[in-house]
Structure 1
Amino acid sequence: MHGCGKKGRCTTCKMIVCSGMEHLSSLNEREEFFRERGRLNEDERLSCQAKIKAGELRIRVAEENKFPHLVYSD
């Protein structure tokens, strides 16, 4: 879900990277903006901005962004 239309403006698509951070692109300008303001931790990325380069990635959805009508895996 991207509340801002994949423009990196809202953090509604924040994902917590459990493993495989090395398989993602570097932080871009929008992600740096939120990191500098304390809205994106070291283990978090915006799914609308991060690009998977290659390899396996394991993530989980940030609690504040989970929908109550969906069931999430561990």
Structure 2
Amino acid sequence: MHACGKKGRCITCKIIVLSGMENLSPLTEPEEIYRDLGKLKPNERLSCQAKIMDGELTVRVAEENKLPHIHYSE
């Protein structure tokens, strides 16, 4: 569970997009605010806000958001 309950009020669901950024919906208002504040890089999105519109997507969970009890692939 993420802190804001999918409302885009935090960055606990931040993902790093490795490929397929063009297949995601446009930035939402909360994402634009975080980007303006320097909390989201151009290759990062909030998984609670971004929707896959078409095609494939490869992402990585941001290190600061990884949960200790889950094994993440490299």
Question: Shorter-chain TM-score: which interval?
Answer: over 0.9
Specify the alignment match of 1:35 in structure 2. Answer: 35
**Count of aligned residue pairs for this structure pair:** 74
Letter in 1 for 2:47: S
Does the 8 Å contact 1:2/1:48 carry over to 2? no
Specify the alignment match of 2:45 in structure 1. Answer: 45
Cα deviation, residue 13, structure 1: 0.3
TM-score computed with the length of structure 1 as normaliser: 0.97
Letter in 2 for 1:40: L
Aligned residue for 2:22, secondary structure, equals helix
Within the alignment, does 1:17 sit opposite 2:25 as a pair? no
Structure 1 gap segments, 5+ residues each: none
Distance 1:43 1:10 in 2: 17
Report runs of 4+ in structure 1 exceeding 6 Å deviation: none
**RMSD between aligned residues:** 0.7
Structure 2 gap segments, 5+ residues each: none
